[in-house]
Structure 1
Amino acid sequence: MQTLFYCLIILSSLLGLIVGGLGCVLGFMMKSSYINTDQVWGWAIIACSLIYLIHPALVYWLYKTGHSTLAMVITAFFILSGGVLVVLLPSAIEAGARP
């Protein structure tokens, strides 16, 4: 069980890096008006992306403090939502960068 958890943490961390990085790029593009939208959305996307970047530390801390069920639920959420966002964010960046 512990090996499975660590494998899921690694997968979740990789997705977090990808989604967090792409989200920060999209957020800064929106904030700096490369994309014609409200700058508040840019800050919101940057904040969500930072959550994706730091969530593995939170999950690891929960696991080490005895909250393994909650850690697994959070990990599953980030893996599922991260998988969807990895597909959607590049097309959003590409569509937004067009003049």
Structure 2
Amino acid sequence: MSSSDHAHNETHTGEKSYQCIHCDTSFSRKDLLVQHQRTHTGEKPYKCSHCDKCFSKKCSVLKHQRIHTGEKPYQCNHCDKCFAQNCDLIKHQRKHTGE
């Protein structure tokens, strides 16, 4: 079985082979462990291309950069208002649905 097959199977079995050396948290994938360990080390390898702010996760720097670019990819299907973050769209849509 290849290592990618093994990693895929762990997602189904719940097996967590990768344990953090700083705490008792375990992960099924090595990349998730590496990302988690940054909470302990403070490592922030992803730097915004527009300012000096750094982030521990690639998805966080991509989301942050929307502040600079003005990109708003999340659009309300009720009123066409757009948002930079999906969580803001979800909060906004509650106004339409009454939730």
| TM-score (normalised: structure 2) | 0.25
Structure with larger Rg = 2
Larger fraction in helix? 1
Structure number with higher relative contact order (C-alpha < 8 Å, ≥ 6 residues apart): 1
Larger fraction in strand? 2
| TM-score (normalised: structure 1) | 0.25
